């Protein structure tokens, strides 16, 4: 195929060379790579297209020629300090892609919201932005930097930094779906307690990091009531961790009926959807009734407290009883 001198064969041969150079470029874009790693790409490509096993001189020639092609065709600036040092892609001077107007807005959004050092995943998102910008035309990069039509969000975390070993244990058990033992001190706890939990996901909410997990076992008799329940654990309140060998299958969280009303005064312009899959019923006096299935009554009832007297929990029984207890305890403070 590569030796066919017809126009079709020549075009095919040229395309195979371009494809091989792109494979080398993709590798260098992923990470710094040794000469051995780059040569292996050329070896594998030769086998794939039917060239067989390359002689050492032919391999060296292709390697040197392809490096020159990366420089001449794509404007690649590649750093290589010595025989045993890796090849590092410093820049790509000729743009490889461009972005639509919508994609530029998306990049500008990431650019403006992930620049602060305290933003979760900020470093990773910045790396993503830098890699994409490196293959864009200069004018598109300028549009991203100067874009004004973007929504700014406060994604900064207010918690104390999480120790690296705790973050590593959480990440490991999430990826491997393994049970994690944590020494955790909740809001109302005088001291930390040990729990065996089944981690499902982590997220940021109200400037705090949370680990959402099912409590498999509570090591304190006082905490046995939360066994089998899905809990939001504040990650900065996890003081110790220990991955356990047991694996688990995700179990759907137990839900609790929650029904409440909102006064007409605060629903004239619509209502905020605090809960997924809520059902809204308009009442004759302009108020609304909302029904949801809560999988975390502790958190969900506290979302409703900011409405004050404009919100009343009217069902189910467990939700009403818990809200009455919260209001009673608050009332005791001020009487």
DSSP string, 236-268: GGEEEEEEEEEE----PPP-EEEEEEE-GGG-T
Low-confidence ranges of the chain (pLDDT < 50): 1-4
CB neighbourhood size of 308 (10 A):
9
In this prediction, residue 164 carries a pLDDT of: 94
In 54-207, at which residue ranges do the beta strands (DSSP E only) sit? 76-79, 88-92, 178-184, 193-205
From the candidate CATH numbers 1.10.10, 2.70.98, 1.10.1740, 3.30.2310, the one assigned to the domain spanning 7-92: 1.10.10
Contact 233, 218 (CB under 8 A): no
In this prediction, residue 7 carries a pLDDT of: 58
pLDDT tens digits for 64-88?
A: 999 999 999 999 999 998 888 999 9
DSSP string for 32-61: -B-HHHHHHHHHHHHHHTT--SPPHHHHHH
In this prediction, residue 2 carries a pLDDT of: 44
Q: Do domains 7-92 and 164-247 have the same CATH topology?
A: no
CATH architecture of 164-247: Roll (2.30)
**H or E stretch including 21?**
helix 7-30
Q: Which of 288, 185, 306 is nearest to 235 (CA)?
A: 185
In this prediction, residue 3 carries a pLDDT of: 47
pLDDT tens digits for 172-188?
A: 999 999 999 999 998 88
Residue owning tokens 């750093």: 79
Domain boundaries, the chain: 7-92, 101-146, 164-247, 256-333
pTM listed for this prediction: 0.71
- For residues 107 and 68, give the distance between their C-alpha atoms in angstroms, rounded to a whole number: 32
């Amino acid at each position: 195929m590569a030796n066919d001198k017809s126009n079709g064969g020549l075009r095919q041969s040229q395309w195979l060379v371009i494809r091989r150079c792109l494979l080398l470029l993709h590798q260098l874009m992923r990470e710094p790579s040794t000469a051995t790693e780059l040569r292996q790409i050329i070896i594998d490509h030769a086998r794939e297209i039917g060239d067989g096993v390359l002689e050492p001189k032919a391999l060296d020639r292709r390697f040197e020629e392809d490096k020159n092609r990366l420089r001449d065709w794509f404007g690649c600036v590649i750093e290589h300090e010595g025989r045993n040092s890796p090849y590092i892609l410093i820049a790509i001077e000729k743009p490889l892609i461009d972005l639509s107007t919508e994609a530029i807005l998306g990049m500008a959004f990431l650019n403006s919201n992930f620049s602060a050092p305290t933003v979760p995943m900020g470093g990773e998102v910045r790396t993503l932005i830098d890699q994409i910008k490196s293959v864009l035309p200069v004018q598109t990069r300028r549009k991203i930097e100067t874009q004004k039509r973007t929504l700014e969000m406060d994604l900064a975390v207010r918690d104390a930094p999480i120790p690296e070993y705790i973050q590593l244990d959480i990440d490991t058990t999430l990826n491997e779906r393994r049970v994690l033992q944590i020494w955790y001190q909740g809001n109302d706890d005088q001291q930390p307690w040990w729990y065996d939990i089944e981690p499902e996901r982590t997220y940021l909410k109200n400037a705090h990091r949370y680990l959402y997990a099912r409590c498999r076992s509570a090591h304190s008799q006082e905490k046995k009531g939360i066994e089998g329940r899905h809990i939001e654990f504040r990650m900065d309140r996890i003081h110790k961790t220990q991955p356990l060998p047991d694996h688990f299958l995700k179990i759907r969280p137990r839900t609790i009926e929650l029904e409440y009303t909102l006064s007409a005064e605060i629903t004239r312009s619509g209502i905020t959807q605090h809960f997924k899959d809520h059902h809204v019923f308009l009442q004759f006096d302009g108020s609304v009734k909302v029904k949801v299935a809560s999988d975390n009554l502790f958190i969900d009832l506290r979302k409703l407290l900011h409405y004050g007297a404009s919100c009343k929990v009217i069902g189910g029984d467990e939700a009403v009883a818990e809200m009455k207890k919260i209001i009673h305890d608050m009332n005791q403070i001020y009487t």
